[in-house]
Amino acid sequence: MADTFLSEVASISAPSINERGQTPSGREGTAGAVATVRFRNGETARVSTTHPWHLPRLETYKQLNRPLSLEVSGGLLVDVTVPVVGRVHSLAQEGSNVRILMDGAAQPLILPAGRQDLLSLLENALRDQTGVAISTTSACGSEVKVQDVSRANTSTAVAVEEFDSPTVMAPVNQVDRTRAEDAFRTIRSSRSALPPRKSDGGIPFQYPHNGCWVIAQSVAKALDARNLVAGKVWLLPRAGQNLTCPIDLTATCSATWGFHVATVLGMSSASPNDRAALWVLDPISQETVLPLDSYLSRVRGVDTWMLSTANVYTLAKLSGRLVGAGQSPGQHAADIVALRDMLREYWHRCGPFPACS
């Protein structure tokens, strides 16, 4: 019987030759090199070096000091996936289940009934604003269920900033549609490869369910490299509800989000004081730039939209108020690694997908 747990990697031994490893397909014994991995929760496991991503992922997340979701059977690691890590943003009862929205996950997570131990941990984390790691089912649809929860270290928010301040859009460049589309076309050409490759430096915007703030930051950085200063637009649904958007790479041709963020540039033909005169550059949900009003009609369920500078990385709560949190050093680079891994897992488990009209 397999044992599943959440933990950070403490150490990885050098592979020993001629031990019995296992392949990911069928999990049958096969000759090969095997490394021993020790985890910070005290568990150990052997990992086959023949698997295309287990050992490289363990080594990467050891360097990042981030937890992983592990499945071990007979002392051998048979699966390693990327959990959701962040602070709990809200908990809401949905029938007998609990709907979880995290600062580190745009997609709502569902805690099934009967897990009072996990609910208590989540309630404490929400109250104290401490970090948690959540392992989830490998769902290909819109509902992702929680399997396990553990405490986790999260980076302290830096450069906390209010949304919609009077000067928020002052530094944002105004451009015409041609220049906005030219920049966006270049950004979309930098996407991750599908099917995913072992080594990929692209922007993983094809993953539809999570990481919108990571992608928005990547777009802002790409625009900055072209001497364009961007802002961001944040979309929120009504309390306890979701946003939905037509999107490719899903079985249902739509995605469900608890919030969403995209990068924006100003329109050159508009007054600097026109808050809504913006081009939206969102490679997750669109193939071309859209005016903000068209973009808002595409994403269904929007109750509130807010503007921020590109310095705001994700959402946070401060004394009950919703504010924008900056990133700690190296956070975006680590989040890109995690999002690429999520895209690889999603494609291998759920893809390829039907064409969406």
- Of residues 317 and 34, more confidence is placed in 34
Mean pLDDT over 262-283 rounds to: 88
Cα separation, 103 vs 92, in Å, equals 15
Residue 157 has what pLDDT? Answer: 57
The pLDDT tens digits for 185-219 are 999 999 998 887 767 789 999 988 889 999 999 99
Answer yes or no: are the C-beta atoms of 5 and 43 closer than 8 Å.
yes
Confidence label for 31 from pLDDT (cuts 50, 70 and 90): very low
Confidence check: pLDDT of 18 > 80 = no
Q: What is the percent of the chain with per-residue pLDDT over 70, rounded to a whole number?
A: 89
DSSP state of 155: P
Cα separation, 81 vs 68, in Å, equals 6
What's the chain's average pLDDT? 86
pTM reported for the whole predicted model: 0.83
CA dist 318 → 69, 113, 160 (Å): 29, 30, 9
Cα separation, 343 vs 93, in Å, equals 29
The pLDDT tens digits for 106-128 are 788 999 999 999 999 999 998 88
DSSP state of 82: P
SS3 at position 97: strand
Structural domains in the chain plus CATH codes? 3-81 (2.40.50), 84-151 (2.40.50.340), 159-350 (3.10.620.30)
Residue 8 has what pLDDT? Answer: 94
Cα separation, 87 vs 283, in Å, equals 26
Mean pLDDT over 144-172 rounds to: 80
Residue 318 has what pLDDT? Answer: 67
Q: What is the percent of the chain with per-residue pLDDT over 90, rounded to a whole number?
A: 49
Residue 22 has what pLDDT? Answer: 41
Mean pLDDT over 128-150 rounds to: 82
Confidence check: pLDDT of 278 > 90 = yes
